[in-house]
Each structure stands twice: as C-alpha cells, then as structure tokens.
Amino acid sequence: MITSYIAKEYLQETNQGLYGNIAENTVKLVKPFVNGEVDTLAVKDIMHSTMVMNPSVEVYLLDSKGNIVTYSAPYKKIKVSSVSLDPIHTFINAKEKPFIKGQDPRHPDEQKVFSAAPILEGDETTGYLYIILASEEQAAVTSSLFGSYILKLGSRMFFITLFGAMIIGLLAIWFLTKNLRKIIETVRSFKEGNLEARVPDSQKGEMHLLADTFNDMADTIVANIEELKSVENLRRELIANVSHDLRTPLAIMQGYVETLLMKDETLASEDRKQYLSILLKSSEKLSGLITQLFEYSKLEAKQIQPKKEPFFITELAQDVFQKYQILAKEKNINMKLDMSPKLPMVFADLGLVERVIQNLMDNALKFTPENGEVTISLQEAGQSVEVKIADNGPGIPEAEQSYIFERYRQSKFADKEKAHGAGLGLAIAKKILELHESSIRVQSKLNEGTSFFFQLPAYSV
C-alpha cells in the first residue's frame, strides 16, 4: 500500500513537471475574455486543443474570485461552483514550478496536481485558466493499474519471501534435528542393548549438553550394571563356596553323630568323649566359618562403613596379646609384645582394626609350629603407626604371596590339616584396611617366617 501511494505521488509530480506550463502557454495563444465577457468560441477552442494535447486533463475557466465560469469535463459532474485560489496563486507566483496540489471541482475533498495561468486584460487579472492534470479517469486507471501492479508485485514478493522463509526454516529444523536424530539413534541403540553406544564428541550447541548428559547417564548405567554383575558373580561364588565349606564340617559331624547313635551301647566311654569333643570342635569351626563368610560378604557389598574414632592402639594390642596367651601356651609358642609406650593415638574403627589383628594372630598361631615365636610390634612411622605381626613359622612361597589376600586362596604349601579355615581371614583384613585408605603387606621367607604389616593414621588434634 505504501509503495502504491508513493508511486502514485511520483506519477502526479511527474505530470505536473511535464504539463505545468500548459495553462500559461494556452493563455498566451487565446484570449478567453473579451471586455469582461466570455468568448465562448475562444474557450471552446482552448478546451478542445488542450484536451487533444492531453486527454487526461480537465479545463476550467475561473473568474477573478475563483468562481467557475465554464469548464470542459466529461459528464459535467462538478460539485462546487468555485475553487480556492490560494494554491493557484502559489503556483503562479512560484519561479520554479513546484509540486503543488489544488482543489478538484469534481471531488472537492481531493487534491490534484494542476496547471494554472492568470488571464490578463491590460494589467488587470480578469480570471484564471485552471487545468486539473490528472483527470478522474486517469486517476482511476492509474490507481487500479498501480494497485494491481503493486498487488501483483506484493503477492509475488510475499510468496517469494514465504518460500524463502520456509526453506530457511526447514534448513534450520534439519540442522537442529540432525544432532537430535544422532542422539535419538544412539539412545535407541543403547536401549536395544548396545551398552557401548555413545553420542559422538563432535556435538555442538544446545544439543551438546543433551549429548553429554546422555553419555554420562550411559556411563553410570554401565558402571551400575558392572557392579551388579560383580556382586551377582560374588553372590554365586559365595553360595557355591559356602555350601562347600559348610558341607564338609557338617558331613564330619553327621558321621560322628551316626556312629554315636549306632554304637551307643558298645562304645567305650573314652571314645565317646573323643567323638563328642570332635563334634564340639567342628561346630565351633562351623560357627566361626559362618561368621567370617557373613562378615566378608557384608564388607564386599559395602554394607560395613567404618566408624572412625581416636583410640590408643597400644591398649588394643595389649588386649589382643592377652587373649592369645592361652592359645600360645597350649602350643608352647613364645609371644612377645614390642612397642614404645609413647605412641600417638590412631584414628580408625576400633572393632574392625581388632578384627585385622585377630585374623593375623590366628594365622600366626595356626601355622607356627610348637616352640615357635610370634611377635606383635608397634612403631611410629611418620604420621602413622605401623603394626607388625611376625612369626618364625614355615613362611609362604614368593609365588603365592601375591594372592593369599584374595578370598578363598590358601597356600598350596600350607599343611592342609592346619589350613582348616575358609581362606577368608586375609581377604577380610585387606578389605578392612581399604576402608581405612590403608593396605596390608607381607614379608616372608620359606622356613624362616612371615611378617604382616599395616599402617593406621595417627590422630592429630
């Protein structure tokens, strides 16, 4: 619409530029008034020749006050009897013909471009020749022409723009969804069981975050699956081992109970006593085994969290030392406790650390032959206290030292009779120390003895 309006204005200006002198030139040729009276013939002539020159014009003859004396216009549709003289004066007085609009007698509300010239008799202005340059017809034609042209141009532009916008939009969507499609593909592949599917690193922009989040999530899921798998494997292994470990002492017990029942009458009281004491030992061992298995599986499943507190490791060592005295005496083993009295407190779980020392003492007393020696020593080591449990027993072959800490692993070298246990003692000790961010070491030489070491952090206030 704006374009249409501007184009129309431009056309009118051009019209005035081209035909602005038409009135002046015409007046020079003919005199429409003779002694104040209208020279009808002359006027007809003016009108005729002007209209021939430019059929789009409408010619008016005005008197000196602006009243319309006569006019040439088709259909005689004028609606006012006079026109305003102001624009006419402005037009006549201007040196450079300006773009100026005056009243159109046929459409008093509208302003049209025109040409005008004064009609002089002597020095007196007796009237004006007033020529509207763009007649109604032309206005109608140009406006409809322009209208349709602009409309066509406009609609063409509209469709071109729409099409362009559509293409740009589609391209944008395609680019945006390209990354999204990649992500969806990956998610689908992951869903279908390809746990290694990850969105490639090249993703940029807002999709980058989504891709990263998915990748992280996938990693977490895979890690969880792995953990579940390992827990599941452990559970299976545990069940298999437990049933085996428990069945053996149970079978022995069952055998003795059966014998006792069958030979009840014939059995000597001494034998009976022996059988019963074997039964007692077996049941003790069974309960110890169950305790160990339970403890180990809880540690493995991370169900035990250390409750750390500061305590005197020297006191704990003394307690344990005391408890093992009786057992050591039975085997005629010499026990020694070696520690400086001014050791710092340690920061650890008392119960769990006691379990570690017990497991190591169990082994030391179990494997060390009679008349042997077992030593507990405590020693400050930087910000830690080192605990060492040493014996002069059979030792562990170097090849086996690395795996005795794994569950169910027992040295092939060790006396099967003595081994007895489930092979869990060292595995439990290792797990407990891991919970304390510490570790366990072994030093051993065949036929010379074995030492186990571990450190606990000193408590600093």
CB-nearer residue toward ligand ADP: 159 or 413:
413
How does 29-50 read in b/e, with b if 16+ C-beta sit within 10 Å? ebebbeeeeeeeebbeebbeeb
The option from Mg ion, ligand ADP, none interacting with 393 (CB < 5 to 8 A, set by class) reads: ligand ADP
Contact between 363 and ligand ADP per CB under 6 A: yes
How far apart are alpha carbons 44 and 281 in whole angstroms? 149
The option from ligand ADP, Mg ion, none interacting with 344 (CB < 5 to 8 A, set by class) reads: none
Q: Pairing state of beta strands 346-348 and 334-339?
A: unpaired
In this chain, which of 367, 453, 454, 459 binds ligand ADP, going by CB under 6 A?
367
The option from ligand ADP, Mg ion, none interacting with 410 (CB < 5 to 8 A, set by class) reads: ligand ADP
The option from ligand ADP, Mg ion, none interacting with 450 (CB < 5 to 8 A, set by class) reads: ligand ADP
At residue 218, the 3 state secondary structure works out as helix
CB of 425 to Mg ion, least distance (A): 3
Binding mask 417-446 for ligand ADP (x = CB under 6 A): --x-xxxxxxx-------------------
CB of 409 to Mg ion, least distance (A): 11
Looking at the DSSP assignment, which residues form a beta bridge with residue 128?
62, 118
CB of 407 to Mg ion, least distance (A): 12
User: Nearest Cα to 140, choosing from 8, 13, 48, 16?
Assistant: 8
User: Nearest Cα to 78, choosing from 132, 24, 128, 5?
Assistant: 132
How far apart are alpha carbons 198 and 216 in whole angstroms? 9
In this chain, which of 363, 368, 444, 450 binds Mg ion, going by CB under 5 A?
363
Looking at the DSSP assignment, which residues form a beta bridge with residue 248?
none
Contact between 450 and ligand ADP per CB under 6 A: yes
Q: Which range binds Mg ion by CB under 5 A, 93-101, 191-199, 404-412, 421-429?
A: 421-429
Cβ atoms within 10 Å, residue 173: 11
CB of 347 to ligand ADP, least distance (A): 26
How far are the Cα atoms of 374, 445, 452, 461 from residue 449, in angstroms, in the given order? 10, 6, 10, 38
Helix (H) / strand (E) containing 293: helix 269-300
- Whether 199 and 183 have beta carbons less than 8 Å apart is answered as yes
Per CB under 6 A, which of residues 284..343 are in contact with ligand ADP?
A: none
What's the one-letter identity of residue 177?
Answer: T
DSSP 263: T
Per CB under 5 A, which of residues 368..397 are in contact with Mg ion?
A: none
CB-nearer residue toward ligand ADP: 138 or 411:
411
Q: Using only the alpha carbons of the chain, give its radius of gyration.
A: 59
Looking at the DSSP assignment, which residues form a beta bridge with residue 380?
385
How far are the Cα atoms of 47, 48, 91, 106, 135 from residue 51, in angstroms, in the given order? 6, 5, 21, 17, 11
Helix (H) / strand (E) containing 166: helix 136-191
CB of 396 to ligand ADP, least distance (A): 5
CB-nearer residue toward ligand ADP: 118 or 421:
421
Name the token pair of 77. Answer: 């549709």
Name the token pair of 237. Answer: 């292994």
CB of 359 to Mg ion, least distance (A): 6
CB of 254 to ligand ADP, least distance (A): 23
Q: Which range binds ligand ADP by CB under 6 A, 11-19, 51-59, 314-322, 403-411?
A: 403-411
Q: Which range binds ligand ADP by CB under 6 A, 199-207, 211-219, 345-353, 404-412?
A: 404-412
Contact between 455 and ligand ADP per CB under 6 A: no
How far are the Cα atoms of 64, 65, 118, 446 from residue 124, in angstroms, in the given order? 9, 13, 10, 148
Per CB under 5 A, which of residues 129..148 are in contact with Mg ion?
A: none
- Whether 54 and 72 have beta carbons less than 8 Å apart is answered as no
How many residues touch Mg ion under the rule CB under 5 A: the total is 4
Contact between 392 and ligand ADP per CB under 6 A: no
Q: Is the dihedral of CA 133, 136, 141, 144 positive or negative?
A: positive
CB of 340 to ligand ADP, least distance (A): 24
Binding mask 68-107 for ligand ADP (x = CB under 6 A): ----------------------------------------
Per CB under 6 A, which of residues 224..283 are in contact with ligand ADP?
A: none
Site of interaction with Mg ion (CB under 5 A): 362-363, 421, 425
Site of interaction with ligand ADP (CB under 6 A): 359, 363-364, 367, 391, 393-394, 396, 404, 410-411, 414, 419, 421-427, 450
